[in-house]
Structure 1
Amino acid sequence: PKRVLDAEIPVAGGLDPGAGWQLWQAPEWEWPVTTLPALEAVRAAELQGPTAAEELDHRLRRALFAESRCISLRSVILDVARECEHVDAAALASCLDEGGTRRAVMEDLATAREHVDGSPHVFLPDGTSAFNPGVRVRWEGEHGRGFPVVEEDDPAVYEGLLRRAADPAGASVAG
């Protein structure tokens, strides 16, 4: 929900100021009412390859969190796609218009409800996972009404996760 993000963004932004996150700057009525079209677009970009999907996913998040763009709108999604080096925006538009990725997104949602604790949640090839790796947060006050307090931030944890991901057999990898 927006009120949770409004509390989290300044805190998360402080962990990596270079990411450019900011509170929503556009009129309130332009806030995205859904992310379903953006999720479908990323799934459609996967048909163009993992690099295209990752680039579009990153750019859509930036459009929302750093640029205050309404990523529920097809026109905004396609504008963002045109900004991506590895995404064929015309092919993406065609795929979105055909509606072929909705089922995959809904299957992702079912999986997420069962296995994902929040974002980010990293899953490794060995079957283990890490929710919000390296960061320990508590809420001061009621979740969504109070504010998050970062009690620990250790970006070094990602090196260990990458090593474990690169060596799924787990051969003497510390981390």
Structure 2
Amino acid sequence: MRTSYKVDEFVDYAGNTRKFVIAAVSIQSNGLIDAYDNEQDDFVVVNNYEKILSVGISVCRPSDEFDENLGVTIAEGKAIKNQDHAMYISDGGLVNNKLVDALLEQEAEFFKKDPGYYLAGYNNDAKKYQENKSLKEYEKTLEGDAKVTYNYLKSASSKELKAMTDMLCLRK
């Protein structure tokens, strides 16, 4: 097993510049890819592969200090454990430094454009962040009675809010 990696950075949905490590792990394997053949009513070998080239990414949180060694360890662990971003290669000799470096460069650029492809929950977090940002912008525009009402409702108890909501719904 051999690991190559690249350290890079991207700007997240909140405008934070964050470092990340992308690792490619070359794993020896004697695997088979099979498929079900309806005519033979059995599985048949579609391809043999000698190596798996799996990619994993670790991302530093905005509040943490970047640690390259820890980042490599995490990215490597994700590549080995998950193998959901992997190439299955029938000729192990095709996997060389040039191929791996090109793959790392390509996937690092892709990650910068679409972090949610690799990071679970990233797109939901980005959506929540944008919704909260929009609400804060709207809050800044409130004036007059709307601002007074909003400030009152912010401090009201949930019991009081429910009673007011019920009362307003009955009026319709």
- State if a TM-score over 0.5 links the two structures: no
Greater C-alpha Rg: 2
Taking structure 2 as the reference length, the TM-score comes to 0.27
Taking structure 1 as the reference length, the TM-score comes to 0.27
